[in-house]
Amino acid sequence: MPQSIPKRWHIEKSVYDAYEVECIKMVDTHWHSHFLLNLFTEGEGVQEINGKSYPIHKGSIIVISPLDFHRNIIKDGDKVSVSAVKFSDKFFYDSLGDICSLEDFPIVTALSGEDFETAKILFSLLLKEQKKKELLGADKFSESLIEQLVILALRSAGKDEKSEETGRMRRALAFIHYNFRRNIKASDVASHVGYSPNYFSSEFKKETGVEFQKYLQELRLDFSYRLLKLSKLSVTEACFESGFNTLSHFSQTFKKKYGITPERVKEETE
């Protein structure tokens, strides 16, 4: 039975929040407005992300985006210790947009040896620095620690460094993936990365193989399908949560892509 998905939780005033937590029970499927990096320091369990299960253990590191649904599955009597940091889309755009895009998420990998020890040190420094926000450069220092944690995860997952031009297009994709539920246009994305609208449209098709509007529609359809399968939202709610403006257009494009109506998908999951 799919779990209901609460409204997105927003980080207020700050671009990040680091903490340590012990998980002792299952957490229902949910999503966030922020990015979340979890470093598992003790225990074993399962992290379910977008309906796929990943075993977690000491050294596991997971980074999820605002597009990812997830939940923890822990056996009765077991305990999992986690060092975690939530960071905002602004931080992602400003600090990480050059080296990764939302297409790289979720990142699920494991650190061992020196990399695991480094990650624990970075978290220790981050937790201490977070308490010193009144000091000069405290936020910048903390943000640099978060960058290093994400880079460790990316390297462990085998991600490669990209060229400057590719980095700019990755920033464009990050912007699209975060804002696809809104009424965005190609000109909005072009302005975000410093391209002219025509040049952006040309480069976007070269990079992705499809026109901007087609790419945007595919994102919305994929997200709506996961909403229908993993949540208790109605078809109408899933339609508008995914960025479609009318139910008729949503139903038509959904059936064309999946060969089944959204209503039928909903019926099959209940």
Show me where the domains of the chain are located.
16-156, 164-269
Residue type, 172: A
Task: Tell me whether strands 35-42 and 60-64 are parallel, antiparallel or unpaired.
Answer: antiparallel
pLDDT interval class at 167 (50, 70, 90): low
CATH 2.60.120.280 fits 16-156, yes or no: yes
Q: Hey, what CATH topology would domain 164-269 get?
A: Arc Repressor Mutant, subunit A (1.10.10)
Could you tell me the pLDDT band of residue 6, with boundaries at 50, 70 and 90? Answer: very low
Which one, of 191, 184, 255, 187, lies nearest residue 224 by Cα? 255
- DSSP-derived letter for residue 96 is I
pLDDT above 60: residue 13: no
52 burial via Cβ count (<10 Å: 0-12, 13-18, 19+)? exposed
Strands (DSSP E) contained in the chain are: 16-23, 35-42, 45-49, 52-56, 60-64, 70-73, 80-87, 107-110
Task: Please report which confidence band the pLDDT of residue 182 belongs to, taking 50, 70 and 90 as the band edges.
Answer: confident
How far, in Å, CA of 183 to CA of 193, rounded?
A: 18
Please state, in angstroms and rounded to a whole number, the distance separating the CA atoms of residues 222 and 102.
14
Tokens of 103: 């297409």
